[in-house]
Amino acid sequence: MKISYNWLKDYIDIDHLSIEQLSELLTNCGLEVEGYETTESIKGGLKGLVIGEVVAKEKHPDADRLSVTKVKINENEPLLTIVCGAPNVAEGQKVVVAPVGCT
């Protein structure tokens, strides 16, 4: 039988345990764990992505359907200038940002 780790977390406080520790505990309780597998809902995962806030938006000077936005991702870093094609982007929105170097 396969049981989701996230489903178990809904019922048991296991945040302090690694998968290996949880597997050992379940096996010691008589629930043999033959193995575990990790799946990603988004291929490659979400490493490097951050949440930012759009603080300014202007029309792109050379394109009708693009906007030039200023996005704050961190208080300690300068604002990022991001060209955006989303027609619904607005000041004050929280957005997902893939900074330079993100994989």
Kindly give the confidence (pLDDT) of every residue in the chain, 103 residues in length, as a single tens digit, with 9 standing for 90 and above.
888 888 888 998 998 998 889 999 999 999 999 888 877 777 777 788 999 999 999 999 999 999 999 999 999 989 999 999 999 999 999 999 998 888 7
Q: Which residues contact 83 (CB under 8 A, 6 or more apart)?
A: 60, 66, 67, 68, 69
* Token duo for residue 68: 């030039």
Every domain range in the chain assigned CATH 2.40.50.140: 50-97
Q: What top-level class would CATH report for the domain 50-97?
A: mainly beta
Q: Kindly report the backbone phi and psi dihedral angles of residue 9, in degrees, each rounded to the nearest multiple of 5, phi listed first.
A: -65, -25
0.75 surpassed by pTM: no
